[in-house]
Each structure stands twice: as structure tokens, then as C-alpha cells.
Amino acid sequence: MRFFRNRRVHEIAPDEIFLDSSNLPGRNDVQFEGRVVRPVSTPALIGVGAVFALIVLAFVGRSFSLEVVSGASYAQISRDNRLERSIIFATRGLIYDRTGKELAWNEAAPAAAGAASTTPFALRRYTSLPGFSHILGFVRYPRADAGGTWWREEYVGVSGAEHGFDSVLAGKNGSAMEETDAHGHVQSQGITLPPQNGTDVHLSIDADVQSKLFSLLSVHAKAQGFDGGASVIIDVRTGELLALVSFPEYDNAAFAAGNSAAVAAASKNPNSPLLERATSGLYAPGSIVKPIFASAALNEGIISPDKKILSTGAISIPNPYDKAHPSVFRDWTVHGWINMREALAVSSDEYFYTIGGGYGAQQGLGISRIDQYARLFGLASSTGFTLLGEQTGVIPTPAWKEQVFGADDPWRIGDTYHTAIGQYGFQITPLQAARFVAAIANGGKLLTPQIIASSTPEYSEIGIPDSYLQIVREGMRMAVTSMRTDATVKFLNIPGIDISAKTGTAQIGTHNQWVNSWSVGFWPADTPHYAYATVLEKAPAGTQSGAAPGMLPFFEWLMSEHPEYLQ
């Protein structure tokens, strides 16, 4: 009994049972299942500490080696070398003519003997043949600031084909990482992005035809007192341009090189060599638009091609403000009774006054239809040409006159007469002229001029039956062959090439003291392949040797040197 009395009894509290059992996942709470948590053993703790100590010792050792043992040498490398991105300039695409002749190419920049090139990019070079400055244009080069940082990394095409096809010619620059020392010497280099070179461009222009046409026309123009001029030759089947001449021209190579003296001289030249006259020059067309209005009159049914109109040298319109002094609209000479073919051949103003504005019993087109058909043949609108700077021109209308001269000066019948013969406020470009002549020659397809060789033809239909256009073509052929025509157009009656043509003389200046001279046409006459338009700009009134005589030596040269273009 004493044993049991001396024995101390200790009861286990329920919360202790629950604490011990909480560490057993999936325990049976009803039966108070659980287990006692065992502490981490001392050997495991010692092992983890040893691994950590070894890692710390390794880092300390490497730091000691870099900062103490090799610290001086690495500090010198850090001071003397740096890593930079450098540009690898893409090679710009070349420009060729239709025969494969190089017109624009690349050359390494000149350098002193034994030294590297002075620039990391190639310089642009251009053909020395005359007549290509406006077609090719020029580029601006990549530029770096005084510290060597490139603020313009690309070539920039400024004008001509260099601008029009810049995205094709340019390519895409690459890059490299360079390690250089304190003296700027490259220690190592690695290409990270290779350059993509530009694509070559083949123009539809024939370099021989272009340069010869430029040379012959510019010499003739200068001899006759003209300030400048332009000429366009277009394939009437495809719209490809065989020549696109503008003179005088500027030195595009000097502009690319940044020659400030050449830039200043061209800018101050009163004859405007920077103006691309073929696409941006606006000129009163004069009589060269008569074929448009002849086809319009036939299409509208207001006259038959064989009906004759009497040309007496002038027509007279009553003056409502002064009955004693009627308004007189003169022809350049008396032609007698003439039909449409003959009127085109002799370029009768009186005939086209009549079918343009009406006279007596003969109905005229009226200014609305004159405007409509001029636009149908592509005037006063863009031709869709690729290169920069094309102008659209003007067709005089009552709305145009009111805008220019105000409502106090209404449209009069005389304004219609003058518009019908390509005068008054009429303005077109040589490219537009070549385009509408091509449409007459090819049966009514208004082509988009193309300057890339082997382009797919693009055109819209004018909608005038070819039988009417054939009447016009016959009249233009008669202009060259008939004995009654103006002597200047007869210069183009050349054995070996059948040319159909039309001339025009537009009076300019406040007192009509200057003239622009036009010659347009196509060949061969029966199966047209090429059309042309040439204008010589601003010579003294009375100048006799204009655009048609100026084209004669070119056609003679073409027959001799490039007979493939005669058919």
C-alpha cells in the first residue's frame, strides 16, 4: 500500500496528445494517431555549413585573383579599350540603261597611298554622257558628327531615278561590334548583322538615243536663241520611255559631292538648269492640240471629216460693246476650202475656231466639251509617272478664268476660240504631249509612261473609235508630205522613215514678243511604234527654225546608227 501511496501518478493532457499527432499526414484523428517530430541531425548541419564555406572561399579566391593578382592589367585594358557598334554600309544598287550600259555605279572613296579609304561607304559615280542629270538625279551621303556618331546612316536619293527608286536601290545596312583601343585602332571585330545590298535598276532609256537627242537639240536651241527645251520619245505600245531630255542641265555629280560653288551657280542661272522641263515645264501647246479637238468633233458628230470650211484668213465676231469694231480672230494665212485632214495638215486656226467655238451655221464643241476631251487625252492631270516633280497643267475654262481674273471679266467666245488652238491660259508638259500623241497613234490607249525596262503596259481607253483617230493620223501624215503645209514641218519628210507630225507655235509675253516652238509626231506612219514631243522654249518672235528643224539631224542620226528603232 505504501508503495502505491509513494508512487506519483501523472496524467497526459488531451492537448498534448493533439500536438504530437498533428505532424502525421493522413492520421486517424479518431484513434489519436501521430508521431513525434525528430530534430535535424548534427552531421547534416555540419555538411551544409562545409559546402557553403567552400563556395565562399572560391568567390574570395577569384576576387583576390582579379583585383589583387591581375588587377593592374585588367584596369589598363578597361582604360584603353571600348566596345562599340559600327555600321557596315550596304552597297547601293547600280543603274543601267535598256542595253545594259552603266549609268550610275559605286567606287571606294580615294585615300592616301598605303592608307584605308577615307570613308566607310562607297561614293556614287555617274555617266559622263550628256543629258542624264535630270533622269538620274543624285544622292546625299551618310553623315557623322565631329565625334564620329552617324546622324544619317543611309544614302538619300534626292531627285531623278535615285529618288524614285530609292527603296529598291538602297538595300539595308548591317552592323558589327568593334573593340577599339584609346587611339581608335580596332582590336577585334565581329559581324552581328550582315548588310543587304541594294537591287540594280534597268531603265527603259537608251543611253545613245538620250545623249544624242540632248546634244543635237541643245546645240540647235542655243543657235536659234531659245533658252532651253525638252523632248520625250515614248513607245506607243508599252509606254516605255526611250528618251527623256531636258536642257540646260546641271552637274548632278557635283551636287552629290556637295560642291557648293556648283550648287550656287545652278541656282542663280537664269535659264533654270534645275528645272526638269520634260515633266515639270509648263508650256502653251499652240496648234499641237488640234488633233485632240479634231477627234472630239468627229466623236461628237458635229462635223464630218470631208466637210469643207472656207478659210479666208480670219473670222469676225460682232463686238457688243462697240459695233463699229468687231472682234477679229485671224488665221496665219488664207487656206481656202479645207476639210479636216487638210485643216490638220495646214494647221488652219480658222477651221479650229469654227469647230471649237462654232461660227455661222457650223456648231462648235463649246468650252465644256473642249475641257472634257482635253482631260480625256490626259491633259491637266498627272500621267502617273514615277519620278518626282511632275506638273499637271491648265485647261482654260470659265471657272478657271473667274478664279484668275475675277467675276468682272466673264468668259467670252473669243476665249473658246483661243483655247481651241492651244493658246490663252492653256499649259501642258512635254510628257503629257508625247502621251496624247501616243494615244492617237495606238488607237486610243492612254498609256502610263514607264521608265523601267520591260514594264507591264498600263493604260486606260479613251473611248474614241479608231476610225476617227485614223482621220487624224492621216491629217498628221499630210502635214509632213503635203505641198500646202508650213515649210517647217516638211523638214521631217525624210526618205527612209515615215513620220506623221504636227507643229505648234505658242506666243508668250505681254506683247507676244517671245515664242515657244513645238513638234510632235509618231513613226512609222502606217504602223506606229514611237511617238515624240519636243518643245523649244522662249526665242524672239519671228524665229523660223524651231523644233521640227531641230529634230531633223536626230532622225538622220537615228536612221544611220539605230535602225532598230525605225520599225
Contact 328, 316 (CB under 8 A): yes
Contact 241, 454 (CB under 8 A): no
Give a yes or no: residue 253 inside a domain: no
Return per-residue pLDDT of the chain as tens, 567 residues: 454 455 555 566 665 555 555 555 555 555 555 555 567 778 877 887 888 888 888 888 777 776 777 777 766 666 556 667 788 899 999 999 999 999 999 998 876 555 556 788 999 999 999 999 999 999 999 999 988 888 999 999 999 999 999 999 999 999 887 776 666 676 666 667 899 999 999 999 999 999 999 999 999 999 999 999 999 999 999 999 999 999 999 999 999 999 999 999 999 999 999 999 999 999 999 999 999 999 999 999 999 999 999 999 999 998 877 888 888 999 989 999 999 999 999 999 999 999 999 999 999 999 999 999 999 999 999 999 999 899 999 999 999 999 999 998 999 999 999 999 999 999 999 999 999 999 999 999 999 999 999 999 999 999 999 999 999 999 999 999 987 766 667 889 999 999 999 999 988 888 889 999 999 999 999 999 999 999 999 999 988 899 999 999 999 999 999 999 998
Give a yes or no: residue 391 inside a domain: yes
Distance CA(477)–CA(470), nearest Å, equals 10
pLDDT digit string (tens) for 321-346? 788 888 899 998 999 999 999 999 99
pLDDT digit string (tens) for 430-439? 999 999 999 9
Distance CA(76)–CA(145), nearest Å, equals 29
Whether 19 and 165 map to the same domain: the answer is no
Give a yes or no: residue 519 inside a domain: yes
> By residue range, what is the domain housing residue 53?
1-57
Whether 234 and 378 map to the same domain: the answer is yes
Distant-in-sequence, close-in-space partners of 238: CB < 8 Å, separation ≥ 6: 447, 450, 455, 457
Whether 400 and 545 map to the same domain: the answer is yes
Whether 87 and 222 map to the same domain: the answer is no
pLDDT digit string (tens) for 513-533? 999 999 999 999 999 999 999
- Of 202, 227, 248, which marks where a domain is finished? 202
Whether 46 and 87 map to the same domain: the answer is no
Give a yes or no: residue 72 inside a domain: no
Whether 120 and 228 map to the same domain: the answer is no
Distance CA(67)–CA(239), nearest Å, equals 75
Whether 42 and 114 map to the same domain: the answer is no
Distances (CA, A) of 88 to 117, 120, 178, 198, 531: 14, 8, 11, 13, 46
Distances (CA, A) of 343 to 76, 300, 535: 93, 18, 22
Whether 25 and 174 map to the same domain: the answer is no
What's 505's domain CATH number? 3.40.710.10
Whether 105 and 24 map to the same domain: the answer is no
Overall number of domains in the chain: 3
Distant-in-sequence, close-in-space partners of 556: CB < 8 Å, separation ≥ 6: 494
Distance CA(537)–CA(518), nearest Å, equals 9
Distance CA(174)–CA(176), nearest Å, equals 7
Class of residue 342 by CB neighbours under 10 A (exposed 0-12, middle 13-18, buried 19+) = buried
Look up cell 512609222; give the residue. Answer: 524
Give a yes or no: residue 255 inside a domain: no
Give a yes or no: residue 64 inside a domain: no
- Of 153, 187, 202, which marks where a domain is finished? 202
Whether 288 and 421 map to the same domain: the answer is yes
Class of residue 259 by CB neighbours under 10 A (exposed 0-12, middle 13-18, buried 19+) = middle
What pLDDT does 346 receive?
94
Whether 224 and 164 map to the same domain: the answer is no
Give a yes or no: residue 556 inside a domain: yes
SS3 389: coil
DSSP string, 432-488: HHHHHHHHHHTTSEEEPPB-BTTPPP-EEE----HHHHHHHHHHHHHHHH-TTS-TT
Contact 348, 311 (CB under 8 A): yes
Distant-in-sequence, close-in-space partners of 16: CB < 8 Å, separation ≥ 6: none
Maximal CA-CA distance, the chain = 169
Whether 198 and 211 map to the same domain: the answer is no
